[in-house]
Structure 1
């Protein structure tokens, strides 16, 4: 049969991908407690990490893919408030923002989906408590009371379905425990952030258990808006979760879950960078102190942007251990039903400047229902061949509705902007020096022009409406077949069918439209009125997988895995003219070879993998000078190495964990890619053979930890060294979007009871206050000027944790 660990363990938890435990090497021989105590031999070992990456509970060391597991305890230890905080510890994983509550862009092995067009499904799948969520905004929802996070790299289409082309985040939250228990954590951070996380539960009766969890986070933020005198990244979020576990008979369990999350934030946290002389002169008329240093946590724009987000989720998971059936030694059935709704209401200053040029309002509603019905089982052999078989087979049904309304409205200063060089450049494609007339005007002159034009323009906006209905069905199967004690083959396949129906329309709205005069914003965006109803597309996909695994011994194995995945096509949600609304599906195939092993009596765990992935028909957003066009334009190849380890060193108080990612992701073919705006508006270039954006060639982390007693108390100290290599952060590989590599240092110390009933912690993230950027991209109205998103600066936090 497949490798399984069975050592009984006691002790304390630890960090990334593993748990430190104390155990006797001869515990299995002990007849009773007295004999065990007489052995007097204790040593540290690494506990088995159980995951559900293949839809069954198994050791992470038995899963033949590149996989990293992060425990909820480690997330709390480092002060993580979301998945973006653990990304630096995971090889070849990158988040484009530390704070954005809606536009989460996650890249694995260099690939992800730009969230600026909501028609794109995420390339990285998100699953929480066995429910697949098909919107990237869920990445920031209900990230509390976490048991573990599994990060599966590479296409995962066979078991997780569509839109997992780059990988999957598989999150499991805590459920009702066998005994009544609870924990609470209070944390305060400077700059000001306060949070509390609570979880409590246990058995109510012999057949009913409960767990209630809640979180409340309030963050003042670090980004000072000097024009509005407010923090542009102020953020408040609260969430609640309840789980009820019914066990009417021993073989049957029914878990009912309800989750609610609410977020409000100032939005959207961009800073100006690389102002050219003409743009600077224009904006100085509105803010005499306008500046373009993207590293000083200072912005200046006039509209008080905001976002409000609410999600509600209901889940029902039924598991029935049927037992032996025919030749099957054990058969189990699981049914997972999910129902969720997500609403977002946002307004942002589109030009991110003190001039009142344009306002972007976006309101969206999303709901989905899903059902997965699967069977798992075991047999002694297959057709009399081999030493054991484990299988999972099932069906999946998905239905969703997404509605979005977008308004891009003219601001009061738009008329004054139209006489600048920037406006001439966008309208004509280029502007001769001196074509703008406002650079030398004083504030009074600007104000007069703005007042006159604003009165003449009145309400003027472009409205885009989008409605998308999706239904999908799939059947899937996978088995792990032990041909011998050492050799395991794992074939799998998924058949998926998806139907999409969409309505898309765009129109200019203004007071002169009735006279046949084009609306101003519509002209500025080169938009045209259109209305397309009943757009339809159907897609069928087959996602196969095959793994070959060889166990060198009971603690080490090597594997070779081929897998294929796809991301569905769709219809552009932000088209300004109605042309080329449809885009095609994206496909990926990967070949991965890896090693998983434990050494030195289970005190060192080392996992490593090399891979190559071919992406075809890449869905890309091309910036056209005003907004983004959607197209399938490229193919790419990603090659690399991923490694992580945990080592309980011979010096007993010291343990070390770390990770390494090497990444070479390049466009294989991209002949008509957008060029930087410096080459002219709507210019093209050939990026074939060039590095893709958001693909640092190296990423690494190392965390040494000391645990030792002091006056009967347990002291734990840790230091993190986190490195991310150089990269481009805009798809046109504009040199201005190039970010050099950087290293950040974090440190923590905690003092607590040996039984972990309480702990007091002090920590610092970004200890040296390294000023680095997450992303640099083109502005909408100022060609040659850029918007930057800055990573968080130094944060000092203190936390009190209680458990019972």
Structure 2
């Protein structure tokens, strides 16, 4: 029977013989939490354990010798999962780190077809997206700042596909294409992987060319006009050359209906192709050439009205007053009394009226050459790669049907080149990995943002000219920016067996990074004249109003840094089936630069060049874990406890106005993430399997005294406020949610939860099958269930009462018939039609509008798969 999650975190379809449970001390409540996890493991039912009969052989993702060993072990002691997390083939239960392994058939069975959906299978993974570019992938709440994405910082979670690093999360939002398995590694991985990763890594392995002819095809249809087709074929071209090609296409109607354009938006429209050529002149040498191309071209991504929260802005300049004023004008012009009112104030009606053009064109691709040469007891690997990313967006940045921002687009083009050399040695007492990594990247962006016909009425006071549309209409900010990034690293990890049971594992990394960036914003008014905002040149109220919305700016930035990091792991085989381990890692996330413009100095109203660079993060990570295999390999139970402390944590500060920059990078003094993770799976018989994965994550700002104010404290006057230090000011501020009062320049959110992180998260599943003969075909009728739960979390960089997202639980079912070479099943996802929010956004301008994207409603369909 197939298994969905092979993981060490209440995994989805654990690869049988593996479940990694993580345990971490948190405020003295560890025992209680473990008890809850065990209770859940005994009661939980949900998730399907991937279609078994057609599960991919571990041999497709591991050297043949390891595959042979695992096959023998599998027949004797249950299924054994082979992983390459430590850059060598070994069983997942032997790896002394927290790892979740998700098999390709499990991904397909549960409908989780890209990185964004993986969080439904891995509880400690958080993925939030408003579009492919603005996507954050975090592990244990850490990785990248929550909010608008900047090219000026590094990812804390590395995403690798067949050993090739993908530098931007947006470049990894492709549909999974012919994937063998996905390994989610939790915690710093810099001494094992080419690019430094302080929070973890997602290691994706695709199916490789074979010298045996084989193929597979899959077709899925469902409601919302959902259609997905996949196909792959592999075989020999000669005795030494094999090839594999795979294609996939996905389309689906949108989930939001735009009453303004009378179209469904936020659709899916994806196409991908991958080709591989393997040259294997002998058993010791293999050369694999790969190329892939993916295209996503949906009309998206739009938002819908969620709620309004009172800010400290003058009451007549907040959302409801503005909408009423616009509607009065619209009625006078014969457009109707509610022309600008949202079509519904219930987000789950899935209606919106945003008026700007929407686009999310995303082209991703590249080529790589991987050489593996077995030399005695070691293997030399070379990975040479080039990748590109072409992003063509259009957005409605005011989130309304009013023409406030009539155009908002920042198309980008990226090229990256990487070269990695790695040598793995395996001996009786000593194993080691040593590598050299080089990386070069360039990103060019051309941005345009333009004010619309309703901008004056929306953004200005009566004295500034809110009744004169010409003040702001046509005001345009044109941005030109580029980033050059270079990185080089020498890394290595040694594994030394002091005794047959006790192993120590030190690792080292020397890293160099250089970033150079350029940003220029040119502002023109509606007549096309260049706007100059230098203080002596602002001679009239119109220019002053325009400069309050967009200011020209030029900011070249360049900086570099060396860093030395290390980790140390001790692991002990208590018995043949129980492994205990402890890890300490001193890690480092390199400096960042503000690539999207700089904030303005509060006294001169000019760019603050002190904010051009962002300090590196300094990471101290502690982890202990226990991996156990029970009942002669039929069950696994794993625990992990972790604590990560980060100084100078890189955060995103989102501006409250339409102004000079939408958001910029800064440093929070200290952040801490700690928690417990647990994985349990049991294969009771060939007929029944159940698993559960869970995590408790306590991620907080330990010290962040100059955070941006939340909406309830934003938008007010600055009268009487004098900033006296980085975290201090004088002057009286108004109470939260009190219109017309004074707002603070910053707030102290020390002790607050990090955004985007649920304290509790679970995934769980079960499958039961019965052997039958149907239409003269022998096979199994099966029934499966899978699900996940996440407790509430906050969707704003500074926690706000208006951006709290309620917890939710999703349940999926599937039932079908499978046999040799085929699988036919029907499925229902979000079977109980639970209403939930994927993400909330605070509309700019401090008007109190909160917009968001509702999660998918109940969907259903059928899938048929064939293989030979």
Same fold by TM-score greater than 0.5: yes
Task: For 1:799 and 1:521, locate their aligned partners in 2 and report how far apart those are by CA, in whole Å.
Answer: 60
Task: For 2:433 and 2:748, locate their aligned partners in 1 and report how far apart those are by CA, in whole Å.
Answer: 45
Matched, 1:643 2:678: yes
Out of 642, 645, 661, the position equivalent to 1:614 is: 645
Task: For 1:453 and 1:280, locate their aligned partners in 2 and report how far apart those are by CA, in whole Å.
Answer: 16
Matched, 1:278 2:321: yes
Matched, 1:53 2:69: no
Is the Cα contact below 8 Å between 2:194 and 2:420 reproduced in 1?
Answer: no
RCO higher in 1 or 2 (8 Å CA, sep ≥ 6)? 2
Out of 624, 628, 635, the position equivalent to 2:663 is: 628
Is the Cα contact below 8 Å between 1:373 and 1:394 reproduced in 2?
Answer: yes
Task: For 2:212 and 2:511, locate their aligned partners in 1 and report how far apart those are by CA, in whole Å.
Answer: 42
Is the Cα contact below 8 Å between 1:778 and 1:787 reproduced in 2?
Answer: yes
* Residues 727-738 of structure 1 aligned to structure 2 (within 5 Å): 727-738=793-804
**1:674 counterpart SS class:** coil
Is the Cα contact below 8 Å between 2:677 and 2:694 reproduced in 1?
Answer: yes
Q: Which runs of 5+ in 2 are unaligned?
A: 6-12, 18-51, 54-73, 309-318, 331-338, 601-606, 716-742
The alpha carbon displacement at 1:283 in A equals 5.7
Partner of 1:8: none
CA deviation profile, 1:644-675 (whole Å, cap 9, x unmatched): 122012x5411101101011111110111122
The alpha carbon displacement at 1:45 in A equals 4.8
Partner of 1:407: 448
Matched, 1:799 2:863: yes
Matched, 1:190 2:223: yes
Matched, 1:94 2:117: no
Task: For 2:654 and 2:125, locate their aligned partners in 1 and report how far apart those are by CA, in whole Å.
Answer: 25
The alpha carbon displacement at 1:13 in A equals 5.7
Task: For 1:718 and 1:525, locate their aligned partners in 2 and report how far apart those are by CA, in whole Å.
Answer: 58
Q: Which runs of 5+ in 1 are unaligned?
A: 1-10, 23-41, 324-329, 381-387, 428-435, 438-448
The alpha carbon displacement at 1:189 in A equals 2.0
CA deviation profile, 1:541-598 (whole Å, cap 9, x unmatched): 1121111000011221000011233222222122155422211222322100001110
The alpha carbon displacement at 1:172 in A equals 0.6
Is the Cα contact below 8 Å between 2:192 and 2:491 reproduced in 1?
Answer: yes
Between the two proteins, the alignment pairs up a number of residues equal to 731
Indicate how the Cα distance of structure 1 residues 495 and 418 shifts in structure 2: closer, same or farther if over 3 A, else same.
closer
Partner of 2:258: 225
CA deviation profile, 1:86-144 (whole Å, cap 9, x unmatched): 312212112114x7333221221112323433323322111111001111102212521
Partner of 2:513: 498
Matched, 1:593 2:624: yes
CA deviation profile, 1:748-797 (whole Å, cap 9, x unmatched): 112122x2x11111111111110011222210135211111221111112
Matched, 1:532 2:576: no
Is the Cα contact below 8 Å between 2:514 and 2:559 reproduced in 1?
Answer: yes
* Residues 370-769 of structure 1 aligned to structure 2 (within 5 Å): 370-380=418-428, 388-419=429-460, 453-454=469-470, 459-510=474-525, 511=527, 513-514=529-530, 523=546, 527-533=550-556, 535-575=557-597, 578-579=607-608, 580-626=611-657, 627-649=662-684, 652-681=686-715, 683=744, 684-711=746-773, 712-753=778-819, 755=820, 757-769=821-833
Task: For 2:767 and 2:547, locate their aligned partners in 1 and report how far apart those are by CA, in whole Å.
Answer: 57
Out of 111, 118, 123, the position equivalent to 2:156 is: 123
Indicate how the Cα distance of structure 1 residues 530 and 707 shifts in structure 2: closer, same or farther if over 3 A, else same.
same
Indicate how the Cα distance of structure 1 residues 582 and 379 shifts in structure 2: closer, same or farther if over 3 A, else same.
same
Indicate how the Cα distance of structure 1 residues 731 and 128 shifts in structure 2: closer, same or farther if over 3 A, else same.
same
Indicate how the Cα distance of structure 1 residues 710 and 322 shifts in structure 2: closer, same or farther if over 3 A, else same.
same
Is the Cα contact below 8 Å between 2:287 and 2:369 reproduced in 1?
Answer: yes
Task: For 1:95 and 1:743, locate their aligned partners in 2 and report how far apart those are by CA, in whole Å.
Answer: 16
Task: For 1:288 and 1:686, locate their aligned partners in 2 and report how far apart those are by CA, in whole Å.
Answer: 36
The alpha carbon displacement at 1:800 in A equals 0.6
Which deviates more from structure 2 when the two are superposed, residues 469-478 or residues 513-522? 513-522
Partner of 2:382: 335
Task: For 1:342 and 1:561, locate their aligned partners in 2 and report how far apart those are by CA, in whole Å.
Answer: 36
The alpha carbon displacement at 1:320 in A equals 0.6
Task: For 1:142 and 1:74, locate their aligned partners in 2 and report how far apart those are by CA, in whole Å.
Answer: 15
Indicate how the Cα distance of structure 1 residues 538 and 629 shifts in structure 2: closer, same or farther if over 3 A, else same.
closer
Partner of 2:98: 66
Is the Cα contact below 8 Å between 1:335 and 1:371 reproduced in 2?
Answer: yes
Which deviates more from structure 2 when the two are superposed, residues 504-513 or residues 209-218? 504-513
Partner of 1:30: none
Task: For 1:208 and 1:282, locate their aligned partners in 2 and report how far apart those are by CA, in whole Å.
Answer: 71
Indicate how the Cα distance of structure 1 residues 361 and 321 shifts in structure 2: closer, same or farther if over 3 A, else same.
same
Task: For 1:402 and 1:261, locate their aligned partners in 2 and report how far apart those are by CA, in whole Å.
Answer: 19
**2:177 counterpart SS class:** coil
Task: For 1:642 and 1:482, locate their aligned partners in 2 and report how far apart those are by CA, in whole Å.
Answer: 27
Which deviates more from structure 2 when the two are superposed, residues 278-287 or residues 157-166? 278-287
Is the Cα contact below 8 Å between 1:342 and 1:367 reproduced in 2?
Answer: yes
Partner of 1:81: 113
CA deviation profile, 1:188-221 (whole Å, cap 9, x unmatched): 1212211111111022211001110011111112
Is the Cα contact below 8 Å between 1:724 and 1:741 reproduced in 2?
Answer: yes
CA deviation profile, 1:64-88 (whole Å, cap 9, x unmatched): 1111000001011112221222312
The alpha carbon displacement at 1:525 in A equals 5.2
**2:297 counterpart SS class:** strand
Q: Which has the higher strand share?
A: 1
Indicate how the Cα distance of structure 1 residues 466 and 485 shifts in structure 2: closer, same or farther if over 3 A, else same.
same
The RMSD of aligned alpha carbons is 2.4
Partner of 1:18: 15
CA deviation profile, 1:671-707 (whole Å, cap 9, x unmatched): 1112222213363221111211111110112211102
Out of 360, 364, 380, the position equivalent to 1:307 is: 360
CA deviation profile, 1:6-62 (whole Å, cap 9, x unmatched): xxxxx756552315899xxxxxxxxxxxxxxxxxxx988532211111111111112
Task: For 1:44 and 1:788, locate their aligned partners in 2 and report how far apart those are by CA, in whole Å.
Answer: 51
**2:97 counterpart SS class:** coil
The alpha carbon displacement at 1:536 in A equals 1.9
After the TM superposition, list the runs of 4 or more consecutive aligned residues in structure 1 that deviate by more than 6 angstroms. 517-522
Task: For 2:771 and 2:547, locate their aligned partners in 1 and report how far apart those are by CA, in whole Å.
Answer: 68
Partner of 1:253: 286
CA deviation profile, 1:251-285 (whole Å, cap 9, x unmatched): 11000000011111112221122235314424644
Task: For 2:192 and 2:545, locate their aligned partners in 1 and report how far apart those are by CA, in whole Å.
Answer: 45
The alpha carbon displacement at 1:512 in A equals 6.3
Task: For 1:296 and 1:116, locate their aligned partners in 2 and report how far apart those are by CA, in whole Å.
Answer: 29
